[in-house]
Amino acid sequence: MGGEKIYGVRNPGITSTMKTMVSHGKSAIHALLCSGWTSSAETSAICKVFSGIMGFAENYKKGVLNIKHEFLLVIARSFKNCYVGECDAELTIFKIEWKVQHIVPEDRYKVKILQRLNKHVSSRIKVAFRSWDLYELPSLRSTSSDAWAIRTTSKLERPLFVIIGFQDSTVEENHSMDITKFINANVNSIRLKLNNQVFPYERRNLNFEKKLNTAAYYEFESFQKTYYNRNISEPMMDIKKFNDNSLFVIDCSHQPDHLQLSTVDISLEFETRKTALPFHTKVYALVINYSCFSYNAFDGSIQNGLIHSY
């Protein structure tokens, strides 16, 4: 916006898959078909809603006034992870359109908007949203426990949720394997550390071989209640399917004040009941942060961070 990068999504395929699996239920499957969630046609037209790709479009519901928008799309070098099949297939993109809704107010509302802006010429309009940042650990160590230092965040961003998924490291370049399938990696505990604060406080003591995964499934299905403030959640998978296609959700939205006022080191710790974590296993961590920026409707300038706005 305004020539400044305000938001970016790395590996949007995996990012949107993980976010969709925890956000939508079985009733949304038919609505997701037009987004390319599943298709067996030789030629298909896909209508992908921006709210399913990036948090900015999902959370910010207001109009953006008098500022230029740009959307940069970087195409992957290989399409092997875009389909599942026994033989090689050639995928060709014929056309891409970006459709943006424009709001044209009536003259009386235009006057009110201009009057308000004229009173606060130097003030900036705040845009708050929840960003999705994907991180990847190429391989776990062959030990019974492992630790992963993900990143250090500034006080302008605050982690709210972390969604963790394990996958075979060879699935990305193997079109015979489904890249939307995740494994439980035989973990019995996953803990998130924000500096010295640990989430969850107690170890879960999971055992997927004995179907003792209730604690992990509860966090998975509770995401919709907490994230969207719903009274009832509708998970996409039941507990049986979750055992074979597991995503682990850690809610870290309730934090002490000192974490909200300083930089935060984000790290994950994994443990297994086996002698070693599975070999050739990569880890994805989708970190959902509170983010914001502000813009000036007169000159179109962008500024990141928490500042005074009206």
| 74-113 per-position pLDDT tens digit | 888 777 777 777 777 777 888 888 888 888 889 898 888 8
Q: Identify whether 64 is part of a domain.
A: yes
The pLDDT of residue 29 is above 70? yes
* Residue 118 confidence (pLDDT): 78
State which residues form the domain around 277: 12-304
The pLDDT of residue 38 is above 70? no
Which tokens belong to 54? 């990036």
DSSP 8-state symbol, 36: T
* Residue 26 confidence (pLDDT): 79
* Residue 44 confidence (pLDDT): 65
* Residue 122 confidence (pLDDT): 65
Question: At which residue do the structure tokens 């996953």 appear?
Answer: 190
Q: Identify whether 5 is part of a domain.
A: no
Q: Is 144 left (phi over 0), alpha (psi -120 to 50) or beta?
A: alpha
Highest mean pLDDT among 23-37, 108-122, 179-193: 179-193
- Per-residue pLDDT band for 261 (boundaries 50, 70, 90) equals confident
Look at 91 and 194; give whichever has higher pLDDT.
194
* Residue 132 confidence (pLDDT): 93
Look at 194 and 259; give whichever has higher pLDDT.
194
What does the alpha-carbon distance between residue 206 and residue 260 come to, in Å, rounded to a whole number? 31
Q: How much is the pTM?
A: 0.88
**Region of poorest pLDDT, from 120-129, 238-247, 272-281:** 120-129
Task: Give the side-chain half-sphere CA count within 13 A for 211.
Answer: 4
Q: Identify whether 286 is part of a domain.
A: yes
CATH of the domain at 183: 2.60.120.20
Provide the domain count of the chain: 1
DSSP 8-state symbol, 195: T
Q: Identify whether 1 is part of a domain.
A: no
Q: Identify whether 32 is part of a domain.
A: yes
- Per-residue pLDDT band for 308 (boundaries 50, 70, 90) equals very low
The mean per-residue pLDDT over the stretch 297-309 comes to: 67
The pLDDT of residue 71 is above 60? yes
- Mean pLDDT computed over every residue of the chain: 85
What does the alpha-carbon distance between residue 160 and residue 179 come to, in Å, rounded to a whole number? 26
Q: Identify whether 203 is part of a domain.
A: yes
Look at 54 and 39; give whichever has higher pLDDT.
54
Q: Are 184 and 166 in contact (CB under 8 A)?
A: yes
Q: Identify whether 4 is part of a domain.
A: no
- pLDDT tens for residues 106-153? 989 888 888 887 776 667 888 889 999 999 999 888 899 999 999 998
The mean per-residue pLDDT over the stretch 177-191 comes to: 89
Q: Identify whether 7 is part of a domain.
A: no
